C-alpha cells in the first residue's frame, strides 16, 4: 500500500492508521479516502485486530475535505446521473426503483471505491386507497385499506408530508389487524374505532401526545368497535347524571353491533337499552349483518338529539328505521321522514338567520335535502358541491393548470368554478361523455393564470339529475412571497 497519504501498521492486536498529509493539515483528498477505507477493511479481516486507532501526523488531526483545485466541483472520477434515470419494476416486484448502468473503458484497481447515492421513488398508491382521514394537532391523519390498522400522521402544518423526523405511524388497538373505520378529535386526543370481526369484535383506542416521540395510546375497549365513518360523533356539553349532581361533559357516541355506545374517554357503555331489540340477533327487526357500511348516526344541534339510521329486517338494504335519542331527558323516540335518509350531517348556512342547518342524503333519488324544514323534511333541495381550498400561510398562490379524470357517462356535464376570496371569477363547463363510445373514462386538462392568497376550486354537477364520479384530480401550482 502507498504510504503517501496514510501510515498503516498492525501490532499486538492494534491497527494504527495515521493520516499523513501534514502540509495540508491532513485534509482528505480522493487518494486518502481510498487508502483509509482499504486499511479499515484490511483491519476488519484480520482476526488478531481488536481495536483500530486513527490519528494524524503534524499539528492537526484533520482539517476536513481537500477541495483545492476543484473549484467547488466534484472530482472527475465521480459521476452524477440524473437526467437519464428512470424508474421501473424488477421481476414483478411491487415497488418501482431507479436503475443505473455505469461502464468504464478500462480495468479498475481493487482499491477504487464506488459510491452510489439516490433518492427512492415513492408512490402513495402503494399504501392502497385512502379509507378514513381527519385533522389532529395541526396534522393530517390518514388510513389506507392495504394496512388498515395503521394511521399515517403527517408533519405538523404540512398535511401532504408523510416523511421526515416529524412524521409518525401509529398502530391502533391491541395488535390485531382490524381495519380502522373511524377517527375523531376528542379533547386534545384522537379517538379511533376499528371494525368488529368475529368473536373478538373490534377496538376503540385513544391516542395522546404532541409529536411522534410523545404519541401514546390507551385501549378503551378490546371488544367493542365501530361500523363506519358516518356512524360516530363527538358532542360537547352533554348533561351527565352523577350520584350527587349533573355535570356537563364531552361524550363520544357511535354505533356498534352491540348497540348505541357512549364514552367519556375513560369507559365505554351501552345506552340503547330501550331499543336494544334492534341489536338482538334473535329478533326479526335486528340490524342486518353485512350492511355495516349503511347505518349512520349523527348529532342534531337544533333539537339537541342524536339521529340514527338503521338497516332493519331481512329484506332491507338501506336505512329504514330512524331512532332518536333526546340528550336532555335521555328518552328514545322514532322519526318518520318522508323518504329514507342514507346519511345526515350539519353544515354552516350560506345565508339567513339560522347559522347551522341539518342536511341528509335521500335514498330514493340521491338528492341532498335540508332537514328540519317543514313537516316533511324533504321539501327543499339544496345545491351540493365540493370545494378545494388552496392557500399557504401569507404567500400568494399561483394556479397554472388543472387535470381531471372521471368515469364516462352517456350524458351529462359538470363544471369547475374558480373563486378568489369567495368571489366567483369564472366557471368552466366540462362534458362527462367520452369522445369514443368504447372509452371508459373522460379526461380534461386546461391551463389557467390565477394568483391570489386564497383560491377556491368548486366542483359541481351540471344539473341535479346527473351523477358524477371523480377519479383523479391534479393541479399545478406554486407559492411566491407576497
CA 254 – CA 226 distance, rounded (Å):
7
pLDDT, residue 77, reads 45
H/E element, 476: strand 470-480
Inter-residue contact 254 to 297 (CB < 8 Å): yes
DSSP3 helix / strand / coil % (the chain, rounded to 5)? 5, 45, 50
Inter-residue contact 387 to 458 (CB < 8 Å): yes
Q: What is the CATH number of domain 386-480?
A: 2.60.120.260
Residue 120: CB atoms within 10 Å: 10
CA 74 – CA 115 distance, rounded (Å):
13
Q: Which residues pair with 307 in a beta bridge?
A: 298, 324
Inter-residue contact 202 to 196 (CB < 8 Å): yes
Q: Where are the domains positioned within the chain?
A: 1-121, 386-480
Inter-residue contact 455 to 397 (CB < 8 Å): yes
Inter-residue contact 112 to 100 (CB < 8 Å): no
Q: Is the dihedral of CA 33, 34, 39, 44 positive or negative?
A: positive
Burial category of 342 from C-beta neighbours within 10 Å (exposed 0-12, middle 13-18, buried 19 and up): middle
CA 390 – CA 394 distance, rounded (Å):
12
**Three-state secondary structure readout of 365-381:** CCCEEECCCCCCCCCCE
- Strands across the sheet containing 356-362: 341-348, 356-362, 368-370
H/E element, 39: helix 30-45
R_g of the chain computed on alpha carbons: 32
Phi-psi label, residue 363: left if phi above 0, alpha if psi -120 to 50, beta otherwise = alpha
pLDDT, residue 277, reads 96
CA 373 – CA 337 distance, rounded (Å):
11
The single residue listed with the C-alpha cell 336532555 is 328
Spatial CB neighbours of 120, under 8 Å, sequence gap ≥ 6: 97
Q: What is the dihedral of CA 254, 259, 261, 267, to 10 degrees?
A: -140
* Longest CA pairwise span in the chain (Å): 97
The single residue listed with the C-alpha cell 400561510 is 393
CA 441 – CA 463 distance, rounded (Å):
20
pLDDT, residue 170, reads 95
How does DSSP classify residue 51? E
pLDDT, residue 417, reads 92
Nearest to 265 by CA among 306, 236, 298, 300: 236
H/E element, 446: strand 441-452
| Domain covering 1-121: architecture | 2-Layer Sandwich (3.30)
Counting every residue written for the chain, the total comes to 482
CA 79 to chain centre: 38
Which cell is 424 given?
366567483
What stretches in the chain show pLDDT beneath 50?
1-2, 69-87, 95-96
Amino acid at each position: 500500500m502507498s504510504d503517501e497519504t496514510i501510515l498503516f501498521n498492525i501490532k499486538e492486536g492494534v491497527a494504527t492508521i495515521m493520516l499523513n498529509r501534514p502540509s495540508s493539515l491532513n485534509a482528505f483528498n480522493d487518494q486518502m479516502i481510498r487508502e483509509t477505507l482499504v486499511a479499515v477493511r484490511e483491519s476488519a479481516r484480520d482476526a488478531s485486530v481488536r481495536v483500530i486507532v486513527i490519528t494524524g501526523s503534524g499539528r492537526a488531526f484533520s482539517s476536513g475535505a481537500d477541495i483545492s483545485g476543484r473549484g467547488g466541483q466534484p472530482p472527475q472520477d465521480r459521476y452524477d446521473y440524473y437526467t437519464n434515470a428512470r424508474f421501473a419494476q424488477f421481476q414483478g416486484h411491487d415497488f418501482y426503483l431507479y436503475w443505473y448502468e455505469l461502464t468504464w473503458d478500462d480495468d479498475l484497481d481493487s482499491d477504487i471505491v464506488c459510491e452510489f447515492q439516490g433518492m427512492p421513488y415513492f408512490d402513495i398508491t402503494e399504501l392502497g386507497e385512502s379509507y378514513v382521514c381527519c385533522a389532529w394537532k395541526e396534522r393530517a391523519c390518514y388510513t389506507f385499506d392495504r394496512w388498515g390498522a395503521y394511521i399515517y400522521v403527517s408533519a405538523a402544518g404540512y398535511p401532504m408530508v408523510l416523511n421526515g423526523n416529524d412524521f409518525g405511524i401509529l398502530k391502533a388497538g391491541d395488535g390485531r389487524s382490524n381495519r380502522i373505520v373511524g377517527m375523531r378529535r376528542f379533547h386534545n386526543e384522537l379517538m379511533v374505532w376499528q371494525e368488529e370481526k368475529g368473536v373478538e369484535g373490534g377496538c376503540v383506542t385513544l391516542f395522546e401526545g404532541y409529536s411522534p416521540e410523545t404519541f401514546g395510546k390507551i385501549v378503551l375497549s378490546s371488544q367493542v368497535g365501530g361500523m363506519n365513518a358516518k356512524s360516530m360523533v363527538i358532542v360537547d356539553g352533554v348533561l351527565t347524571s352523577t350520584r350527587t349532581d349533573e355535570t356537563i361533559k364531552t361524550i363520544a357516541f357511535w354505533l356498534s353491533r352491540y348497540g348505541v355506545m357512549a364514552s367519556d374517554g375513560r369507559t365505554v357503555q351501552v345506552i340503547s337499552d330501550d331499543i336494544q331489540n334492534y341489536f338482538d340477533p334473535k329478533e326479526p327487526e335486528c340490524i342486518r349483518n353485512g350492511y355495516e357500511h349503511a347505518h349512520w348516526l349523527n348529532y342534531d344541534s337544533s333539537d339537541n338529539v342524536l339521529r340514527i339510521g338503521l338497516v332493519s329486517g331481512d329484506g332491507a338494504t338501506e336505512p329504514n328505521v330512524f331512532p332518536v335519542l333526546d340528550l336532555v331527558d335521555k328518552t328514545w323516540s322514532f322519526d318518520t321522514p318522508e323518504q329514507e335518509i342514507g346519511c345526515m350531517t350539519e353544515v354552516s348556512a350560506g345565508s339567513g338567520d339560522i347559522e347551522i342547518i341539518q342536511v341528509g342524503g335521500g335514498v330514493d333519488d340521491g338528492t341532498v335535502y335540508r332537514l328540519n324544514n317543514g313537516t316533511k323534511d324533504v321539501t327543499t333541495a339544496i345545491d351540493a358541491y365540493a370545494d378545494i381550498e388552496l392557500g399557504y400561510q401569507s404567500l400568494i398562490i399561483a394556479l397554472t393548470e388543472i387535470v381531471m379524470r372521471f368515469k364516462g357517462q352517456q350524458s351529462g356535464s359538470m363544471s369547475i368554478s374558480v373563486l378568489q376570496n369567495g368571489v366567483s371569477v369564472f366557471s368552466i363547463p366540462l362534458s362527462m361523455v367520452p369522445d369514443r363510445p368504447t372509452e371508459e373514462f373522460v379526461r380534461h386538462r386546461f391551463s389557467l393564470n390565477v394568483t391570489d392568497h386564497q383560491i377556491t376550486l368548486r366542483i359541481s354537477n351540471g344539473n341535479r339529475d346527473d351523477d358524477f364520479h371523480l377519479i383523479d384530480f391534479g393541479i399545478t401550482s406554486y407559492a411566491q412571497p407576497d
